[in-house]
Each structure stands twice: as structure tokens, then as C-alpha cells.
Amino acid sequence: MTRLSYLHEPGVLHNLHDRYRADDIYTYTGTILIAVNPFQKLPHLYGKPMMEMYRGTPLGDLSPHVYAVADASYKAMRMDQGKSQSILVSGESGAGKTETAKLIMNYFAFMGGRTDDDRYVERQVLESNPLLEAFGNAKTVRNDNSSRFGKYIQIQFDVHGRISGAAIKTYLLERSRVVNINDPERNYHVFYQLCAGASEEEKAKLNLKPAQEYRYLNTSRCYELDGVDNAEEYRRTRQAMDVVGISKGEQDNVFRIVAAILHLGNCTFVGEDEAVLKDEKAEEHLQSAATMLGVDAAALNKALTTRTIQTLEGSITSPLSPNSAAEGRDSLAKTLYSKLFDWLVAHINRSIGQDESAASHIGVLDIYGFESFKSNDFEQFCINFANEKLQQHFNEHVFKMEQQEYQAEQINWSYIDFVDNQDVLDLIERKPFGILDIIDEQCRFPSATHEELALKMYSTLKENNDPTKRFSKPKRGQFAFTIRHYAGDVTYEANNFLDKNKDFVVVEHQNLLSNAEQALTRGLFPIEDPSFSPNKKGSRAAYKFSSVGTRFKEQLHDLMSALATTEPWYVRCIKPNAFASPGAFERGSVLHQLRCGGVLEAVRISLAGFPTRRGYGEFLDRFGLLSSPPWASAKLTKVDDMRAATDQLLEVAGVKGYELGLTKVFLRAGEMAKLDKKRRVLLDKAATRLQSYAKRYLVRAEFLRVRHATIVIQAHTRGFIARRDFEHRRQEKASIILQREFRRWLARRSFLQVREAAICAQSYYRGKAARKRALALKYEKSAITIQSNWRKYTLQRDFYRHRRAAVAIQCAWRVRSAKRELRRRRMKAREAATLLRDKAVLEEKFTHATATLEKVKNQRDELRRDFKEYKVLLENVKDDLAAETEKRKCLENDLLNSNSAIEELKAELLEEQEGRAADCESLNASLAELCRKRDEREAELLSDVEALTNRISELQADLHREVQLKEAAQLSEAEAHASYEAKAAEAISLQKRLDETPSQRDPLSTVDETRLAQNGNVGNPPRHQAEAEVKRKRMQLERQNEDMDSLLKVLAMPTEEVGFTSDGIPGIAAVTFASLAKWRAFEAERTHTFDRIMGAYARAVEKANNEENDATLAYWLSSNASLLAILHSTLRAASGSSARRRSSGLPSMFSRFREGLTSSRKSSEDDGDDGQKTSGKIEARYPALLFKQQLTALLEHVYTLLRDSAKKRLQPLLDACIAMPRAGRGGAHRANGTPSNSAQAAIAPWNEMIAVLQTLLESLRAAHLPSLLMKRLFSQTFAFINVYLFNALLLRKECCSFSNGEYVKTGLAQLEAWVLAAKGEGLVIALDELRFLRQAVTFLVIHQKPKKSFDEITHDLCPTLSIQQLYRISNMYWDDKYGTESVNPDVLSQMKRLMAQDNAGGEAGIAFLLDDDSSIPFTVDDVAGTTLPRTFDRGHLTLPEAIVGDPSFAYLQMET
């Protein structure tokens, strides 16, 4: 700004405003940098490209920037024999001091960082900021996050200019804020973070309560900050402690001390002369504070309420008044917090690491700015005192720089007066009669009040000791005083000065805390603490008075001493408005800050001297035309000649206020504007004269051109006429010749056309007739072929239908005949068995009656043995009804032989029975009696069965009524359970009685069988039928277990061995469904079959996932989809299945017992019915429906594994595309157009990506994956590529370039070519997921972007992209190939305005980054509708070839 023609306050303010509107937030005032806070992110101003631009560039050659100041200080340190530098960043709260300091440290890390060290010093310093902000920042009237301490960061460098260490030094911590705050300010952030963010366990340990209940916090009504979550900030503070190396135990001890300070504030005292705790709450807080500090509560109470004075006679303990006890308590709290803060800073320095042997350093000072509020207290007094010191340092440095330049140029000048604030500093810190001295003097009197302090200052300073009139008493305010600072008058209220200045170091506190049980407390108060000297014997002091103001002054002196050893650089941060609103510029506030920061004072010093200075060469180049003759620096080579020419020029121009230096000319303020005006007038006259000469020259040139053209036209016209006459004559002769030849040609052409037409007509007619005959023959042959094929087809169809019908009829008739024959043979077998038993009985009766039947007896014994063998064979026939046909024929042959023998025996027996009729009659009578007894016994058993059945029904009814009574009357669970157990036990006992009933019939079984044989009854006894049924079910279960083992072996086989069916269905799906249908598992109420199958499925999928075998995963995905589709089309939920599952099982046992009494014919018919196959959907029970849900979940899991595997393989290739260097992309082709090695290396990731996609596609097609799943999988894969590359383009500036756009566009073209070559409709549709990336790349590679309007960009080029994304790309775009510019600034302004409207409308939270979709993009209905082929028929399900020849699956092959 020192080069402005009009250098005054309005000009400076206007210049800052114009630059701020153009987002140029940095401005120079000499070597002073002014930084205006934009309150928004400006990414185009920062980053490594900008650092490279300013690296090594002299200050002033490029636009003003904080990097330029940092680079200048770094170069000064390197070139000026290692002299240390310092950068003073100042400004009021919210002006951006901390962010500016971070940018400076980032640049130093860039210039002197160690690339081989992971532990960057700059990163460690920045990561300690949340910790220092939590313990050192608080809310003030102007800023919600105001630093209440000064921070001086030393970046240490070695002799090579590399960073070797760092150290953080803190100054001027505002200790009084711990115990006293004003509304609406807040205490330090850590107190509110601890109260809100501590866990319940921590709150219990620390006995924490809400912040509103602590006296140190509730003096202000502000507890929360807008947009700040105290709990989240607490977690960030904990994380920062972890970064700087504070252990968990030390962190807990730190927060214990913070909680102890809060509890100390609630320890209130009452009493007249002796201080005692006010109530039980105060005692509770005292106990909590003692526990947190690791001391005894009684000892702490004694240290707060009493003082011990050592005398020659001994120690004297005296009680304290409540006010004195409160002052001691507050002093202890401030001392604890101050020492804790110093301990944290020391720990951070140890973590960062200091280099004691550093060659030099650069210090960055971040300190609070000048403060002037409506009500100013002791804190504002100390802060403004510090700013007075820094302003004095600033004024001296600025004047010194000005003086050094004048001396270097050896010009005639006089010393310039500037505002010296030494009198203000003397007023505050001098001894005696300084303000700090007066405050300390009053603090030494325990009974001193603020009224006495104010009167003391009025009487001491106003009358005699303030000749500069810097101190005054305001008209309003009884106990206030005004100091005229360099930035303006500030009025302070003296009400709290004494309380906030007192800081006692009490011997009891020191002795108590130095012996605390907690290690951190002992470390904060060591016995050899130099800040406190123990009382010597005979001393009467019970404590050492420590003044906050005096210690503040000493720390400030140390800071100024440190700055005096360095070369300073100044950065003045400006807050453009009080609302942190982007774009708003409050001129009054900015002007006030410029005055407070000394910027206008620097401008005034420049105005008082020679603010405008130019080198001789530059000055002559611009104003040399004003001299006579005109001078130019190019004509002069010596400095003396240029100096003489400049002197002559200024005399001719009439300039008086100037001085000539060795290399520059110095002008007074306003002289440059006069020279510019004269230069502009001279240039206007010269331009007018040049225009007249140019116009005359142009008119004469036009006249000469027209005259010459006229002569040329006349000559050409005459020649044209002569040539035209000659040509006319030559054409007349040629036309006669042409007419003759043309007439001859026309006649010949007519003859040839007629002849050719005749030939064509003849050939056309002949060809048409031949084609007609050929077509008729062709139609006749086709009709014959169609008729023969149709007749063959109808005959074959009728033959196959009749054959199937005949076979079905034959099978049905053979089955019926076989059953009828089986029943007939069973009846004959039973009749033969009855006769044999009768014969055996008669032989036993007639043994003693006759001796002549010895031969018959021998034959009878042989027949008995044959009968026993036949009986064993007959029992085997009953147990194994499904035996092979050959065995059955053998049994039938044996039966026929036995029947013939029986017939012969019957004949012999009839002959013998004729002689023994009387004996038979008696035997028949006894037999009739036995049958009668048997019938009576059977009737009794049946009546018992009916009675037991009725009793069971009654018990079930009682159970049902008790359940209803329980629901209605809400009986206790124990009573209902006991009643249910009693009824169940009774039912079980009755069931046992029924089970024992058949055994009671054994004594009469022989007679019963004899009677049944005589009556011709063919039914089996119920007990034998039940045993046969149990054996049959056991054999069926064993067979099913063997089949299940075979199925599990198939599921464990490699998928390539199982293969697919002829319909393209995976073999595992076909075998699983066929087995479940064969076992009727879908209709089972309870079964473990589905669990075993799902376990095998899960193991196979997990194995494939561990082996990263995408082909196997694709096969299982296809298999699960096919099986799920089959189940979806086959099963339906059974109505009322749940009710049947909940019903009791007791009645079913008795019903089965009754069914066991039915005839064998009915059981055989039931067996036949079970073998029939049902049509339509199967009613699925609960296990089957659960298996379907589990299969759906497994399908989604396999899909997720396959999709994540593809993303995992693509991610490193996408990272390679992002990280590909620009040099390799730029040189993609050689001069002859052939691809270079760098081009092949650049395009290699895309080729590998296509190879991965091709492998995935081949695996999916080999697995016969449904088109729906394939389309969804590739859609999400392409969406992942789109999200990954698009987000990288938005986040990385090197990716948002012209060459990178061409590179990505080439890769996308290859990817699209592969999709088209793959010939998949799903792939082409999935390619639309790349639309965001495609449009962004199209925007990067188009030319003439500044000519594109907003509508063309948003509607034609990038209709899919949002305004935030377009604005981001436009800002980050840079052309590294042709150097073109981005879009028009008006378009950027329009985008920015639309984003501001969106933010005002509540859409500020919309991010410009894309999110990856990881959901499941299909449903069960989608899979079921697109998976199975149209020719699929579950009734004729084929099996894979690997299963057809396996004997373990004979049960499936029979069904198939």
C-alpha cells in the first residue's frame, strides 16, 4: 500500500475492501502483512503448489501472501549468518491469528522438513493445539474461542536449514479467570468439557455434577456455545493427550485436579471471626476436593481456615475470617490451575523434542490483541499493557527500517516524529507511583478496598505524576479510571482489581500438597519449589504475597527480551465484521483495527518521509517521455547517468518534493500523482498526432491501390474481349463437327437400344416362365415334406401317448393284480398255518390214544419242522414288504410245495378223523368254551380302552379349561405349571396301561388265531402290525441318514466336479431340492435336515472366501439363487400349521393305537397313497419356511463377499490411477504418434482393471449366474469406480488438471470398449453408473472454458453434477498442458451465490462427495422371477452327470 498514489486512511481502507471482494485477503504495508479473515475456505490460496510458487521468490515480486513473509524470514535466517527471526501475529479475537500461525508452521515444515522422519515437528505442534485450547481458551464478549494466553513457538533449525526441534513457550495466562468470570463470558473450556463429556463411571469417581452447580462456573449464564458439543470436545482433548504422550493414568490425574478446582469453588465459609464450612454440601465438596488431590480432608480444611506463624517462642495458629479463607481458597485454585497448565506445556515440549544445539530458530508469536469493551476489568488492563509493549516494539522497528533505507541511499532527511507510547508504559509499570505499584501496595493491606484503590490512584497520578495526561477520571463511574492508549481511550472499573491481583502462596498449602498421595499433585508442588521459600525461624509471615500484575510484567519483560534477540516480521490480522459472515466488510471496525494494530501509524510514518520510491531504471522507463529530449533507461548504462537524467526530468516537470539516492528516487506524498497526470496529458497529445498521420497514410494508400487496380482491370478487359471473339469462331467450327458426329451417335444408339430391348424382353419372359415352373416344383416338394413330417409327428405323438397310457394302465393293473395275489397268498398262508396248528393239537391229543400212528407221527414231526421254517420265512415276508421279486417267487414256490404236502396230510387226517368223531366233538366243545372266554376278555379290554380314551379326553378338556382360566383370572405361573404336570402324569400312566393291554392277550392268542383261521379272517394282530410299522420306520430313517451323508459329500465336493444339469441349473441346487422333496422334508413339523444342509453351505462358502476363489463364490451364488427360485415357485405356507404344531401330542398316540387295529388292506392302501406324487405347490411347514429365509440371507452374504472381493481387487488399481505422476501422463505419445513407455505404464492400471473385470465376468458366466444378479453386481462395481475416482478428483488438486482429465478419459474409453466387446446388456446398463466421472472429465478437457455460460455448463456439459461439485472443480482446475484459465469469474460468482442461497435455505449440510452404495440391490421376488429357465419343470428335474452314475443316489435316479 506504500505505492498507492493517494496514501491516506480512505485510500488504505478502499484498497483493502477491493482486495477483500476479490478474495485477495493479504496486503503489504511495506514489509508488514495485513491478513483479513475471509470466514470461509479459500483452497486456491494454499497448498504445496502455492508453497512452490513462493519458495525463493523475493518479497514483493508476487502477490502478498503469508507464505511470502515466512519465506522472507527463512531466507533472512539462512543468509544473515544464522540470525534468529520472529513473526509476530497479532489482532483481536476472531481475526484468524491461530490459523495464520498454522499456515506459517506449514510453510516452515515444507521448507525444512525431514522426509525420512515420520514424526514431523509441525504435526506434533499442531496436534497439541486442541489440548492447549481446552486449558487456555475461553469465551469472551467478542470471540467464543479466545486464547487467554500468549503462545510463542520456536521452530529450531540446524546449520543446513532443516528443522531439528521445536519448543512452545506460553506467556501471560489469565489466572484470575479461574475464580472470577463476567456474564456472558465463560471459564476455560476444559471445565465444561469435563462436566458434559465424562462417562458415568468417571462422573462417579470425580463426584461430578452439572456445570450449573459450581460457583466458579455459574457466575455467568453461558454454559453452551453455538455449534460446539462439549462432550465431543472432551473426547478430542483426550485424543490430543494421547498424541502428546500423556498416559491414561496421568490423564486421570489431570482431570482429578480439574475436578478438585471445581469442588474447591463450592467450599463456602461463614462465621464472624472464625471461618467454618457453610453447610453439608460445602463439607461434601471439601471431601471430594481432598480425595481428588490425594490429601486428608481435615488437613485441607485446616489449611484453608487457619494460618500458622512461626515465632521465637514457637508456632502460633490463628483462625481466618470467612473473607480471608475465601481468598486463600481462590489463591489455591489459581495456583493449581496455573501449575497444571505449565506442566501440560512442559509435557508437550518433551513430546515434541527440543534441540539445545540448534543453530538458529524462527519464533511465531500468537498473542491476544487490544481489547476495549463496555466494561473493562483487570484482565483487559493486563492485555492492553502487553499490547502497549508490543506496539512500542513495532513502532521502533518500523521507524528503524525507514531510517536504515534513508541512510543506505544517503539522502538528505530529518528524523520523523512518531507516536511514542513510553509514557503510557511508565504510567503503568514505573516505580514508585505506577499503577501496578499502587495496586500491589493496596493488596498488601488485608482490609484495603477498591474505593481506597481508586482514591489512591486519583490522588497520586492525576495531580503530580502524570504530566502527559494519559491518566484521567471519567465523568461517569465512581471508581473508574481512563487511560489514553495508543489505540484509544479505555475506561477500567477498579471494583475487582484487588481481588484479581492477589495470588498468595500459603505455606500450609505448599506443605500439604507437597506430601499428597497423588503423584501429579506432588510433582506440581515440590518441596524445593523456587517459587516459594519456607519460613525461616523467627519469621512472622504465614504466606508469601504474589502479585498477578507483577508476575505478568515479568513474563512480558522475558517475552520482549526474547523478541529483542530476533529480527521481527509483522502480520496484522483483521476481523472484517463482528458476525463472522463471509463477504461482509464493516469499514468502521476495520479502520479501528488498523489504528490499533499500528498499520495507519506505519502509513503516517511513510507519509512523513518519502513514501513513494522507485529505481532509476523503472522511473525513467515510465516518466522519461516528460523530459526534452525523452530519456529511457535502455539508453543509459551507468547509475550516475540515470541519476542525472532523473534530476533533469524532475526539474523539467516542476517537482519540488524529491530526493535522489544512490539507486532510487524518493518522492513526497502526492508527487507521483502529479507526474502521472502530466504523463497522461502528454500521451493524449501524442496519440492525437499519431492518429492524424495514420489516417492520412491510410487514405493515400487506399487511393493508390484503387488507381492501380483500375489500370489492371482495363488491360484484362481488353484481352478478355479479344480472346472471347477468337473462342467464338473456333467453337462455331467445332460445333458443326460435333453436330454431325452427334447425329450419327444418336442413330446408332437408337438401333442398339431397340436390339437390346428385344433381347432383354425375350430373356425376361423365358426366365419368368422357368422361375414359375421351378417355384411350383419347390412348393410341391415343400408341401410333400411338410405333410410327411406332420404325419410322422402325429403318428409318433399318438404312439408315444398310447404307449405311455398303456404302460401306465399295465403298471396300475399289475400293481393291483400283485396286491390281489399277495392278499390271496397271505390268506392261504394263514389257512395253512391254522391247519398245521390244529394238526399239532390233535396229534398231542391222540398220542396216548393210538400207537398205530407212529408213521403219521413221524410225518407230523417232519411237517412241524417244515412249518417252523415256513413260519420264519412268512415273518420275513411280513417285515420286508419291499423285498426283491426273486425272493418273493422263491417264497411262493416254497408255499406251493407246502400246500401240496398239507393237502396230502389233510387227506390222511380226514381218514383218521372219521374214526375219532367223538373225540373231536369233545374237543370242539372245549374249543368253543375257550373262544367264549376269549370273546369276553376281549370285550373287557375294549371297554377298558374306551374308558381310558374317554378319561384322556376329559384330561385334555381339563387342561384346556385351566389354560383359559389362567388367561382370564391371571393365575400364577407356578400353579398353572403344577396343575399341568399332574394332568400330564395321569395321561402318561394311562398310556402305559394301554401299552400293557395287548400283552394280556398272550394266553388266548392261540385260540384267537384258531378262531380267526376258522372264520377266514386275514387280519394281523395289532401288536404285530405295530412292531412291523416300527421296524419299517427305523429302516426308513437309517436309509434317509445314509442318503443325507451322500448329499453332504456332494456339497463338500469341488464345484467344478458337480457341474450343472442339462437345463443349466447348478447341480448342487438340483440335488438338494430333489433330496428334500424325496424325503418329504418340506412337510415335516420337526427336522434337523435343513440345519445340516445350511451348515454345509456355510462351510463351503467360508472356505471359498478364505481361499479368495471368486469362481467358487460365483457358483454358490448361482446355486443359492436357483434353489431359492425353485423353493419360491414350489412351496406355499401351510394354513394352520402353527396351530397344529402347538397342539398336544397325547391324542395322536391313541389315534395311532386305534388305527393299528384296522385291517391290513387299509394300511396297504395308505402305503399306495404315500407313493403317489402330488401336483401343485407343496404346503411348507415352519422348518421349510425358516430354511428359505436362511437361504435368502446366505444368498445376500455370498453376493456381498463377491462384490467386496471385486472392490478389493480394484482399489489398488484405482489408487495407482490416482497416484500416476503428471509427467508420465503428459508424455503419453512420442513425436511419431506411437505410445511411449511412460504411456504404457500410465495406462497399465486401466488394462489391469479391465483384466480383473474380464476375469469376474468369465467366472459369472461360467457359473450361469442370472442376468439380474450380474447386472446388479457390475452396476455396484462401476458405481464404486465412479465414487472412488470422482472423490479423488474433488479432493486432490493434482487430479483436477487438463492432463489428468485426458488420462482418465482415455481409461474410460478403454473401459467402454471392453463393455461393448463383452456383449452384455447388463454391462451396458451398468456403464451409466460412471456418469459423474464422465461428465467431470468432459468438463476438464473442454477448451475455451471462460466462454462457457452457466446454463451451458449446468444443462449441456454437466447436468448430473451439483453446484457444489461444479464450484469445487472450477476452483481447483489448473491447465498443466496449455496454461488456459478456468471458467468465467461471473459463472463462479453465480455458483457461489446459489450455494449461499442453498446454505440459507437449510441445505448447508449437503456434501459434494459421493457415497458408495453397499446395500443389497435385489429382492427374493426379483431372483425368483429371473433365475429359472422357462422350460423348468420340478416334476421332471434332471440331475448332473456326476450324480447319475453314483449308486449313493439311487433313490434320486429311480425318481428321475
Question: Catalytic positions, please?
Answer: 93-94, 98, 143, 146-147, 369, 371
Cell of 308: 500458622
Write the single-letter amino acid at 589. Answer: S
Q: How many helices (H) and strands (E) does the chain have?
A: 53, 23
Cell of 224: 453452551
Rounded CA separation 529/524 (Å): 9
The answer to whether the peptide bond before residue 184 is cis (omega within 30 degrees of 0) is yes
Rounded CA separation 490/469 (Å): 14
**Angle CA(1391)–CA(1396)–CA(1399) in degrees, nearest 5?**
130
Cell of 1334: 464422465
Which string of DSSP letters, residue by residue, matches 1040-1067? HHHHHHHHHHHHHS-HHHH-B-TTS-BH
Q: Residue 648, Cβ neighbours under 10 Å: how many?
A: 13
Rounded CA separation 576/586 (Å): 6
Instruction: Judge contact between 1185 and 1082, C-beta under 8 A.
Output: no
Nearest residue to 1164 (alpha-carbon basis) of 998, 1008, 1029, 1012 = 1029
Cell of 1385: 469469474
What is the rounded end-to-end Cα distance, in angstroms, of the chain? Answer: 97
Q: Residue 763, Cβ neighbours under 10 Å: how many?
A: 10
Rounded CA separation 396/404 (Å): 12
Cell of 903: 393237502
Across 246-324, the runs of DSSP E, i.e. the strands, are: 269-270, 276-277, 306-310, 315-319
For β-strands 85-90 and 567-574, DSSP reports them as parallel
The answer to whether the peptide bond before residue 629 is cis (omega within 30 degrees of 0) is yes
The distance from CA 286 to its chain's CA centroid, rounded to whole angstroms, is: 47
Contacts 24+ apart (CB under 8 A), 452-461: 453/479, 453/494, 453/497, 453/498, 454/478, 454/479, 454/480, 454/481, 454/494, 457/481, 457/494, 460/433, 461/427, 461/433, 461/435
For β-strands 85-90 and 276-277, DSSP reports them as unpaired
**The total number of residues written for the chain in this structure:** 1456
Beta pairing partners, 142:
none
Instruction: Judge contact between 145 and 96, C-beta under 8 A.
Output: no
Rounded CA separation 525/112 (Å): 39
Nearest residue to 1224 (alpha-carbon basis) of 1234, 1235, 1233 = 1235
Rounded CA separation 932/925 (Å): 11
Cell of 1186: 425358516
Instruction: Judge contact between 937 and 1011, C-beta under 8 A.
Output: no
Cell of 531: 517459587
Q: Residue 1153, Cβ neighbours under 10 Å: how many?
A: 19
Q: Residue 146, Cβ neighbours under 10 Å: how many?
A: 21
Rounded CA separation 1366/1368 (Å): 5
DSSP state, residue 624: G
Q: Quickly list H helices, 880-970.
A: 885-914, 917-969
Helix, strand, or coil (residue 88): strand
Cell of 1391: 455458483
